[in-house]
Every structure is written in structure tokens, then in C-alpha cells.
Amino acid sequence: MHWYQKEISLTAKRRGFHLVTDEIFRQIPEIKAIQKGMANIFIKHTSASLAINENADPTVRIDMESHFNKLAPENALYYRHNTEGPDDMPAHLKSVILGCSLNIPITGGDFNLGIWQGIYLCEHRNNGGSRRLVITLSGE
């Protein structure tokens, strides 16, 4: 039985949906020691989130940004939390809709993802900066 836990950073990204499977994977070589288990990826922020979706066509990620800007628009008249800029309250809303952690099965030392699945960093701020993740791996 293995437990492995570490904190890693993702480089600063512009607002939008970004494929980060490889940027995460290369920072956790310890995953190779696990034949069957689970990976938890947790983002320690309230205005960026994590998701899993299509890894091939970049227009999917563009459409996600467009659509989430409709689902959680800037400057809604009923927002009271607006002192940190028009992108701030929508960022919190997108974060709870998408979620702050992923749980991915590990099989044979690798993420057991579907062929079209990749990990997204969803950056909801205009200038969110580098983002901090906790990775916890367990298994045998």
C-alpha cells in the first residue's frame, strides 16, 4: 500500500479552459509505482477549477469559455460581491459549478482516462497567476 502526496504548481494561464494532463503528469513520477489505485487532484483556489473533458479539438475549450461566460455572466445586477472586479464573482460561481477536485483511477502506473479525456485547468480570472494543486495518490 502506497500513499503519496505533494503540492505542485501550474504556470499562470490566461482566462479560459486549458489542457494540463501532461503538465500534471510529469510532476508526479511516483504514480508509476501504483498498479491499481486512485489519484486526487485538488486545486487550492476559489476562482479557478478542474474538469475532465475532450482532449483533441481546441474549439471545445473555446466553446466552454464562451458558454460559462453566459452561465455566470459579469456584472449581474444582483451581485453584491463586486469589489474585486467584474470577473471575480463569476469566477466563484464557475468554480462551484465545475468543482475543485478530480478523482481519477490509476491503472498500471498511469491515469486510467478514456481515449478522448484530458484534464482541464479552468482559469476564471483575467489574471489568476500560478495555481497550486495538492496531488494525493493511493493504491498498491
Binding positions for a second copy, rule: CB under 8 A: 1, 3-5, 36-38, 40, 42-46, 51-54, 57, 59-60, 62-64, 66-67, 71-72, 76, 78-81, 89, 92-93, 95-105, 107, 112-117, 120, 132, 134, 136, 138-140
Strands (E), 1-140: 2-10, 16-19, 36-43, 48-54, 101-107, 110-111, 117-123, 131-139
- CB 26, min distance to a second copy, A: 20
Smaller CB distance to a second copy: residue 13 or 89?
89
What distance in Å separates the CA atoms of residue 118 and residue 65, rounded to the nearest whole number? 16
Smaller CB distance to a second copy: residue 12 or 97?
97
Q: Judge contact between 79 and 89, C-beta under 8 A.
A: yes
